[in-house]
Structure 1
Amino acid sequence: MPAKPINTDRLSLTPTRLLLLVAAFLVTSGNWSFFERVTDVYPLDSNNLGFLVSLVIFFYAFIVLLLLGFSLIMPVRIAATVFILLAAATGYYADSLSVVIDDTMVRNILQTNINEAADVINTGLILRVALLGLLPVAVIWLLPLQKASFLRELRYKLQTAAAAVLVIVLCILPLSDHYASFFREHKPLRYYSNPSYPIYSIGKYINQRIQSSITREFTRLAKTVTPAVPGKHPRLVILVVGETVRTDHFSLNGYKRETTPLLAKEPRVISYPRVSSCGTSTAISVPCMFAYEGREDFDPDAAEHTENILDILNR
């Protein structure tokens, strides 16, 4: 007896319903660190149970709004793909390393090189992206979507957005004290919301870049530079910068354990133990070390349009 053909119409969804399912998937699969930290602050007991349930619903409605907003400027499947892959990758680093994707981290990612990037790509990340990223994305692209006119689909999206806003309001009103505490006193909790905070950070970084390129011109600090003596063979200086190395844990500075055995064998090595950086973020600390302003007044956006020590030496 021949098998009956699968009726794909039963499996098909409207684009708006697909986004509702994607939002539910994102809340449950990409926010383990977020909810873990929330329950650390608001323990799962009778006093906080109502707020915690409300927060899950609030967060779901907010993700729905984000997806709907992006679906207005790009196809639904592409919006869902971007959200799912981003949530899978950033969720791994939040769960495994407690790393949040803020605008500084976005700057680091975009300015890193292949060797540094390879250090943070491991089996755990690959499995996470494959199972919670690529697999659901494949399902989305294989699943047939019901076609509707642009105006009809726009109406569905606007109705869904209005419903999501109403849900958010209904979540906040009866528990306004809890939400006031959540937003005012526990701001770091929001850093783990996924993928909403990474999306916010990417947008913030893009805005900073746009504003920086529009309002800033390149500034020369040294009006006159004395060139090297003509005809004299220039001296080659190799500068080894360890912007995340603690000076008291560096063997060249007297640390008991040999941390740089090969470097110690090189002749004429000079160690500068009194150098400080602006932090452990490479995209910030390295430019800061060579900036004229110093650590207190350093601005990473301004530094990209201002001469530093290396620029002057290069002249």
Structure 2
Amino acid sequence: MRIVTPKASFLTLTILLALYFTLIPNLPILLHFQRILSALGEYKLGFVISIPVLLLAALNFVFTPFSFKVIFKPFFCLILVVSAFASYAMLKYQVIFDKGMIENILETNSAEADSYLNLSVILWIVFTGVLPALLLIRTRVTYGHNVLMRLGMRLLSMLISLLVIALIAALYYQDYASVGRNNRTLNLEIVPTNYLYSTVQYVHKTYFTQKMPFRKIGDDAALVQKAGQKPTLMVIVLGETARAQNQSLGGYERPTNAFTAKENNLVYFANVSSCGTATAISVPCMFSDMSRTQFDNNKAHNSEGLLDVLQKAGISAFWKDNDEGCKGACDRIPHELVPTDSDKTLCNGSVCYDQVLLNNLDDKIPADGKNKIIVLHLIGSHGPTYYKRYPPEFRTFTPDCPRSDIENCSQAQLVNTYDNTIRYTDYVVSQAIQKLKEYEKDYNTALYYVSDHGESLGEKGLYLHGTPYKFAPEEQTHVPMEIWMSQGYMQANGVNLDCLKQQGKTQAFSHDNLFHTVLAMMNVKTKEYDPSLDALAACRKP
């Protein structure tokens, strides 16, 4: 049987590709418009018809410069496949591809990336990306005419597209302006221009912006604890993807904090905001001396941070990681990424439960009389494979959702699974506290727990995290924070526990507090310290 080879002119094929992108990869933005119009109640029929026409004209204008023979098929085959990934993420999770999301994607490790793969995403990519790309490869593209004629045809096609856009703007400018003012993410939802533009932004800033000189801070850092006072041993437990709304210590109806709730010396901070909505932003931000509004990731990666300052004061610092790395925060101190085959009970070769972070921790606490700080970076509640974050014995809330395509689980199953991750994290934090209690004879001990960002579980149609901060819902920015101190620590440092518990209930805090609070808790004096950002300052005796 003879297989027919499709044939089309370069202009026809460009328009067909623009039409395909309008209807398939851009289905998420068309559905978003449908939701917007449904909420409006009244709208012009012409405005509704103009939306896909405007999108088609705009895409044809953007695509036409890529219709030259040498780049036509390679370029469009690539963006067909990549756009299939992007459209799936937008359709299922309402992901917005700004520069921060591109940074988060590029810094994702292979184990985390694998957790997003499932049958539905593979089928979507095959049918909306791979098969159209194969069809394009097989299609014989005709160019004809001479070079000037082809160039003129391209310019004419682009001019017609511009005229269509101008006509629609003249007729419905007020409608688009009104919708745009109330839905500011729409310009970040057009595939493929959203991720292409954001990738160019990221690449330009990362590789083509003049590298700034490395910035040192805290050269004056010095330990100022009283003579004869026991050294301090502090553990920072850096959570992952835990949101405040699901913490029973904050009023949630389920016992998700059943283990730490038993600790009398633990303070829960109910109103804490994150620096970002993704690990790649929040982690370097909270360990830097910059506030959220001042934060610049490029500057942070070219600067010393909290752990550098503590080390300058003579404090022994160590970072142990079960997630995707410290994002630069631990580059100049001893650090370790837990091997995924390090414990047969807690690891399966690709991921470990967070309890593995407590293994061999005693080796990092030698009896040398030095002040010490240890950071434990959890994998916590990282989705979408929430069910892989807790052992079977912590499958408390059932039925859960043992799959990565979480949109196919019921809301109850999804919340059950997520709550199990929060409860297991709480257990790990409580075990870290028990470990610190073993050292109370030789150290004044303390623990600081905070999550890097929150998580959406289907509220407002959003899943996961990474929404641009100015658009992000509270579920992604409201995070839990806890501080536990031994009796010896509080006495030596003049901390009023009742005062601090009251502060935790009534005052607002953020990731901005970590840098300055930890400096003070470790008795380090430096000009970098800002007492107004020290969460314990109001409850500590001078």
Q: Give the structure-1-normalised TM-score.
A: 0.79
Distance 1:251 1:176 in 2: 49
Q: Which secondary structure state, in structure 2, belongs to the residue aligned with residue 91 of structure 1?
A: helix
- State whether structure 2 residue 292 is matched by structure 1 residue 295: yes
1:1-315 alignment to 2 at 5 Å?
8=5, 11-43=6-38, 47-71=43-67, 75-148=71-144, 149-210=146-207, 213-214=209-210, 216-223=212-219, 240-246=237-243, 257=255, 277-312=274-309, 313=311, 314=332
Q: Offset of 1:91 from its aligned partner?
A: 0.9
CA contact (8 A) 1:34 1:190 kept: no
Q: Distance in 1 between matches of 2:175 and 2:291?
A: 42
Q: CA offsets, 1:237-284, max 9 Å, x none?
A: 8754214224685699999746798x9xxxxxx989668631331111
Q: Which one is further off, 87-96 or 292-301?
A: 292-301
CA distance in 2: counterparts of 1:53 and 1:153, whole angstroms: 31
Tell me by how many angstroms 1:71 deviates. 3.9
Aligned to 2:515: none
Amino acid at match of 1:156: M
1:197 Cα deviation (Å)?
Answer: 1.9
Tell me the distance in 1 between the aligned counterparts of 2:80 and 2:164: 23
Task: Quickly say closer, same or farther: Cα 1:49–1:83, change in 2 above 3 A.
Answer: farther
Q: In 2 relative to 1, CA 248–171 (structure 1 residues): closer, same or farther, beyond 3 Å?
A: closer
Separation in 1, partners of 2:23, 2:150: 26
In 2, the alpha carbon distance for the partners of 1:75 and 1:102 equals 26
Once residues 247 and 151 of structure 1 are traced to their aligned partners in structure 2, the CA distance between those partners, rounded to angstroms, is 62
Alpha-carbon shift at residue 224 of structure 1 (Å): 5.7
Question: C-alpha displacement at 1:288, in angstroms?
Answer: 1.2
Give the structure with the larger strand fraction.
Answer: 2
**CA positional deviation for 1:40:** 2.2
Show structure 2 runs of 5+ residues with no match: 224-231, 312-331, 334-542
Aligned equivalents of 2:41, 2:238: Cα separation in 1: 50
CA distance in 2 between counterparts of 1:40 and 1:195 reads 21
Contact 2:10/2:67 (8 A) holds in 1: no
Gaps of 5+ in 1: 228-234, 264-269
Q: Secondary structure at the match of 2:127?
A: helix
Query: CA-to-partner distance for each residue in 1:204-236, whole Å, 9 max, x for gaps?
Result: 22333256x315222111336779xxxxxxx99
Structure 2: how far apart are the matches of 1:40 and 1:115?
A: 35
Q: Secondary structure at 1:13's aligned position in 2?
A: strand
Deviations 1:47-87 (A, max 9, x none): 42101111211110111112123446961112211331222
TM-score, normalised by the number of residues in structure 2: 0.48
Distance (whole Å) between structure 1 residues aligned to residue 294 and residue 81 of structure 2: 37
Q: Is the 8 A contact 1:19 1:76 kept in 2?
A: no
Deviations 1:96-153 (A, max 9, x none): 1111211111010011111221222222211111110000000000111114454443
Aligned residues: 296
Aligned equivalents of 1:260, 1:13: Cα separation in 2: 66
Percent identity over paired residues:
27
Evaluate the alpha carbon distance shift between residue 283 and residue 153 of structure 1 in structure 2; reply closer, same or farther with a 3 A threshold. Answer: same
Amino acid at match of 2:52: V
1:101 counterpart SS class: coil
Shift in Å, 1:38: 1.0
State the partner residue of 1:230.
Answer: none
Task: Indicate if the aligned counterparts of 2:26 and 2:191 stay in contact, CA closer than 8 A.
Answer: yes
Q: Secondary structure at the match of 2:163?
A: helix
Structure 1: how far apart are the matches of 2:153 and 2:266? Answer: 65
